[in-house]
Each structure stands twice: as structure tokens, then as C-alpha cells.
Amino acid sequence: MLGAFTPFGADHPLDLPVAAMAARVRDKDDALTAVELVQTALLRIELLDPGLNAFLCVTGELGLAQAAAVDAKVQAGEDPGPLAGVPLAVKDNLAVPGAPMTCASKILEGYSPPTWATSVERAIGAGACVVGKTNLDEFAMGSSTENSAFGPSRNPYDPARVPGGSSGGSAAAVAAGMAPLALGSDTGGSIRQPAALCGIVGLKPTYGRVSRSGLVAFASSLDQVGPMARSAADARALLQAIAGTDPLDATTRPMPALEPDESTRLDGLRYGTVTEFGLDGVPGGEQAQAAVNGVRATLDAAGASSVAISLPLVTSSIPVYYIVAPAEASSNLARYDGVRYGRRAEDVDSLQALYARTRDEGFGDEVKRRILIGTFALSSGYADAYYKKAMAARTRLREQFDAAFEQCDVLLSATTPTAAFGVGEKADDPLAMYLCDILTVAANLAGIPAISIPCGMTTDGLPLGLQLWGRPGSEGQLLDVAERIAEASGHGYVAPSVKGAE
């Protein structure tokens, strides 16, 4: 089926940078075709995914049909787009017609969406080929992908550990080499945290940069779709394809271009270090802090300057987030009632019983927990005490970020307090799980962009992530700085041993 193309090997075409991979597909004189790339990705999924559970659904026929269309355009002398033939994994809360969309929940049993998510449709329009839907925490509520109704995903660097969440399946798929690009969603860190734990790049765009049409809503004022890739350059290529205004999402708005600025230098860069983001005293945080300090030393040696920044309200980010996000989830998830689509309880004697039993059978414990929290926060007599105060604190937090970016170009921190933890290690401690996002949720509350990039490994060979935060609309600058840091530090994607073990 693959001819000379085997699924693994040195200098394999599927391991090329995305721009180089797509350029070869677009070249009529090159033997590489989009169909061969997709076939290879599908074979890698077949070989590797049984041990990782990154995919909930493999869309082989769809991906091959899209690849054949790309090759036909090439042969006809047409340009199939900047992502020509590049295999793409899609988080299973984004709509792909003809494929199941479960959100990793039993309550969406048997559901297939009638329309495309705008972000997926735009990626396909740029030439990408969808090879599967990836695992996630149920309705994107979690930090480990252990809340999936279909079992946890595993970290390619150590399958006994989690890949992070909620976009853990997408992160594991990219890290293991099953797809060079993936789409995730980020409500409180769900792109950046798994990117850090799986040693790849993950970017949460500015709120409104990418359409949410076709993304199943968790917390509508926080959710954003974004790219996951092996490098900042690859992430930029996918973000350029999916970004832009959309009449189907009124929150989208025009923003600065994403083209690379070759004049960007580390010399003269002002980077802010947030006092409240220090990891001193955090159990297991020593190696993450040391990795961040190593990058800071690289920046200083290159001529960048450090600015001490205090953001007092970031210490309240977790409690603010866990009022705002569950409140919006309580409203958004009310639509899953057994009447319109998905799972429907049987042998009930009233409409109220249908609602109650369907939701009890269909939702997992974490989703139920957040619905209860959110419903309480919005209830009569408590909305003023909780929800309105949380929204006021959110506004003040945004103002503190605005003030910080008057003093520096980017902010810098670790992405996660520690490297990947063991499967089951925090499953019975919701608060410990929530604190995994202590360094990421503030970006969602403020609506600003943030990116996680690799910044080294622990002594156990587990990836660590560095997070860069920018002012609204500054994704282009963040990607430029991320590329310069990777060049100066030598840190980047390192293939896990599982990739070549089959």
C-alpha cells in the first residue's frame, strides 16, 4: 500500500516540518503524494494507538479522499494550499460530518454532526487531511484525559503517565508522530498544559482570533480553538489556516497578521517574570523552575532584559475560573436532556424522569460536579455573592495584564508546575487536579494569547514546558519569540522512544 514508504525511519517525510512536507506534495516532480502521507499516518495510528488511546475515531476513508483531492489539484496544476496533504488530528469536540462526535461522553452516543466546525473546514481548505478524532476529558473538563468515558489517553514518553488534558489525545497524537498537526480547544489551559506534558508546542489564541462555530461549548467566554504541533513554525502554519472572522461566530474580530517577522531578535526583548508564578515550595516544581531559569539565562545572554511583574489577582485565578467556567457549563450543558439528540434513557414514566435519568446515565462524575457548582453559583441569592464577584475580579485581572504589557513585550513562566504525573495519581482528588492549571487559567480569563513550547526534560526523561504570554492579538510576536528561544536554547521537540519501538 505504501510502496517505498514505511511508517518509521530516519528522515521520514511525515516527520518533516509542515512547510517542507506540503511543499513536496505541491511539487508535481516530487514522488511524495498526499495519499502516501495519509496512508503512513493511518498505519502509525494502527501500530501505536492501541498503547496510547489518543484516537476515539479514525477517519481513514475521509482522510484518503481528501488526500486524493489534494493530489488531483497538484496534477491539474492547481495550488491545494499551504497544508497540502498534511495529516490532521481533530479533538472530538469539533464537528466533522460523517464522523461521530462524542466529546468523550456517553450522553452523545450515536451523534454525528451535520455541519463542519469552521476551524476544521478552514484547515481542510488549506489542504490538510483529517485522519481521526482525538480523545479528551469529557466535554473538555479535566487536566489529564482521565475523565473520558472511553478510557484515558497515555503519555508517549511514559504510558504509565497522563498526557495532560483536556486535549490530551491531540497532544499524544502529535508527540507520538501519528499526526504532525492537531486541533485542540483551550478553556483554562487545555491546549498548553498537554502540550507541555507531551513535549510539543500548543497555542491558545486571543479570544476571538479563531471561530468557535462547530466547537461544542463548555464555557463560551473562555473557549478557544488552537493549534498543536511539533514546532512554533508548524503551529503558525495551522493557525494561519484557521484564523479569521466568521459570520457564524459573532465573537470573532479582525486581528493583526500572523506572518513571521524576520527582524525579531532576543537582543532588546523585554520579558516579564511574574512574582506570583514562582514555583518555590511547590512539591515537584524544582525541575520546572530550573528549566525556566535556564531559558532566562539564555535570554539574558542574548541581550534580553528581565522585568519583575506583579499580578496580585492571578493568585485568585483558580477560584475565579471555577466559578465562571462551571456557571457557563451549567447553562451550556442544559441542552443534553435526552430529547433532541444523543443518549435517551429508556423505561421512564415522565418527562422529568427522562431528563434526570438521561443526564445521570450520560454524564460522568466531573461533568456532574461542575454542573452542580455552576448551578449553585448562578442560583437565586448566590449569583451576587459568587458569579458577579468573579466577573468583577476577571475584569480587574485583565486590567492588570494590560498594565504589565506596558512594561514588557511578553510574560514568561512555566506552563505546568510539574512534569506529567501518573495515571490515577490525582483522579480521586479534584482540587489537586484543578491546581494543575494554576499557571494557565489566567490567560483565558483575560482573553490574551499564550503559547507553551518545550524547554527541556526532567531527570526521568519527561518533557517540561515554557509558557509565553502576550497582549491581545500578538500571536505573531509570540510565535516569533518562541522560534528565537528554540534556536538560542536548543530546546525543541524530541521524539519519544515509543515512536520507533514498533
Residues 164 and 146: beta-carbon distance below 8 Å: no
Residues 430 and 190: beta-carbon distance below 8 Å: no
Q: At what angle do helices 387-404 and 317-332 cross, to 10 degrees?
A: 130
316 is catalytic: no
Helices (H), 168-264: 168-175, 192-197, 232-242
Catalytic pick among 73, 91, 204, 426: 91
13-256 fold: Amidase signature (AS) enzymes (3.90.1300)
CB within 8 Å of 80: residues ≥ 6 apart: 25, 26, 34, 69, 70, 73, 74, 127
Catalytic pick among 105, 119, 185, 190: 190
305-328: b or e for each residue (b if 16 or more CB lie within 10 Å)? eeeebebebbebbbebbbbbbbbb
List the chain domain ranges: 13-256
CB within 8 Å of 388: residues ≥ 6 apart: none
Residues 204 and 222: beta-carbon distance below 8 Å: no
Helix or strand or coil: residue 370?
helix
91 is catalytic: yes
Give the pLDDT confidence score for residue 280 in this predicted structure: 77
pLDDT in tens, 207-222: 999 999 999 999 999 9
166 is catalytic: yes
Report the C-alpha gap between 100 and 58 in whole angstroms.
10
Q: Would you write out the chain's pLDDT as a tens digit for each of its 502 residues? A: 344 557 787 789 999 999 999 999 999 999 999 999 999 999 999 999 999 999 999 999 999 999 999 999 999 999 999 999 999 999 999 999 999 999 999 999 999 999 999 999 999 999 999 999 999 999 999 999 999 999 999 999 999 999 999 999 999 999 999 999 999 999 999 999 999 999 999 999 999 999 999 999 999 999 999 999 999 999 999 999 999 999 999 999 999 999 999 999 999 999 999 999 988 777 888 999 999 999 999 999 999 999 999 999 999 999 999 999 999 999 999 999 999 888 998 989 999 999 999 999 999 999 999 999 999 999 988 888 899 999 999 999 999 999 999 999 999 999 999 999 999 999 889 989 999 999 999 999 999 999 999 999 999 999 999 999 999 999 999 999 999 999 999 999 999 986 443 3
Give the pLDDT confidence score for residue 502 in this predicted structure: 39
Catalytic pick among 105, 144, 166, 317: 166
Give the pLDDT confidence score for residue 1 in this predicted structure: 38
Give the pLDDT confidence score for residue 496 in this predicted structure: 95
C-alpha cell at 62: 475521509
36-72: b or e for each residue (b if 16 or more CB lie within 10 Å)? bbbbbbbbbbeebbeebbbbbbbbbebbbebbebbbe
Give the pLDDT confidence score for residue 500 in this predicted structure: 40
Give the pLDDT confidence score for residue 5 in this predicted structure: 57
The distance from CA 253 to its chain's CA centroid, rounded to whole angstroms, is 21
